């Protein structure tokens, strides 16, 4: 198994919440499960620690990082900045074909909204945001975006929504698509910020400071 694959698999385990925030990461156990020895596992943990997903305590092992409200706020703030930038750049560089793809994804997402299928809605939502970042044509930006969103993913995409908020989010997405189609960078940037600000408020209101026992089951309000 390649180094990057090890990192990826552990990242997935953490993001799935299989090892909940704050819990110790059982080295020996993970080694057996991934069928690798401690050396490559520990290399991966150091990388994930640099990413902020793992917390290393000298001589006391590693734990799945726990996010405080402040961390969450900070991450959302940065995420806003990155998406705003991505929106501007995307408007300069996006091709017609890419816009069409996003429009299609948008339409599909709206259908999921109509169906009240929050999981599929979130999935489509995420794909759209990622497509915009990709369209920005800046791999450095894309990399940072991936790493920042990974850390808030569980909060962002597993927060219950009221019908009002959900309706607002869909309306914002209409505006996002519209700005993209008009290639209105400033406008898109502005809408994306507002969209994320609202999302952040939802998440923080939901009291999302991660603790050992944070329940991450998807609930629909």
Q: Does 182 bind DNA (CB under 7 A)?
A: no
**Least distance to a copy of itself, CB of residue 113, Å:** 30
- Tell me the window of 20-28, 35-43, 100-108, 207-215 that interacts with a copy of itself (CB under 8 A): 35-43
Q: Which of residues 51-70 bind a copy of itself (CB under 8 A)?
A: 51-52, 56, 58
Exposure on the CB side of residue 152, measured as CA atoms within 13 A: 27
C-beta separation of 113 from 170 below 8 A: yes
Stretch that binds DNA, among 40-48, 150-158, 173-181, 206-214 (CB under 7 A): 40-48
Asked whether position 74 contacts a copy of itself by CB under 8 A, the answer is yes
What contacts 170, CB < 8 A, 6 or more positions away?
A: 109, 110, 113
Binders of DNA among residues 7 to 36 (CB under 7 A) are 24, 27-28, 35-36
Cβ contact 74:151 at 8 Å: no
Q: Does 46 bind a copy of itself (CB under 8 A)?
A: yes
37 binds a copy of itself (CB under 8 A): no
How would you write 129-189 as a 3-class SS string? HHHHHHHCCCHHHHHHHHHHHHHHHHHHCCCCCCHHHHHHHHHHHHHHHHHHHCCCHHHHH
Q: Write out the residues near DNA by the rule CB under 7 A.
A: 1-3, 24, 27-28, 35-40, 42-43, 56-62
């Amino acid at each position: 198994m390649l180094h990057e694959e090890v990192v990826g698999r552990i990242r997935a385990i953490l993001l799935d919440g299989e090892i909940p925030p704050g819990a110790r990461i059982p080295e020996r156990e993970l080694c057996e499960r991934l069928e690798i020895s401690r050396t490559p596992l520990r290399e991966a943990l150091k990388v994930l620690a640099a990413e902020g997903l793992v917390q290393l305590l000298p001589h006391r092992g590693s734990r799945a990082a726990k996010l405080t409200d402040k961390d969450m706020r900070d991450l959302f703030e940065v995420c806003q900045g990155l998406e705003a930038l991505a929106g501007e750049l995307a408007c300069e560089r996006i091709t017609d074909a890419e816009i069409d793809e996003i429009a299609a994804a948008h339409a599909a997402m709206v259908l999921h909204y109509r169906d009240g299928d929050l999981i599929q809605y979130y999935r489509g939502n995420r794909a759209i945001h990622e497509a915009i970042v990709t369209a920005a044509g800046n791999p450095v930006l894309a990399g940072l975006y991936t790493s920042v969103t990974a850390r808030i993913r569980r909060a962002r995409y597993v927060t219950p929504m009221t019908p009002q908020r959900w309706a607002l989010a869909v309306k914002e997405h209409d505006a996002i698509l519209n700005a993209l189609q008009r290639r209105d960078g400033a406008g898109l940037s502005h809408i994306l910020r507002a969209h994320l600000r609202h999302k952040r408020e939802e998440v923080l209101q939901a009291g999302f400071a991660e603790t050992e026992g944070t329940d991450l089951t998807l609930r629909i309000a």
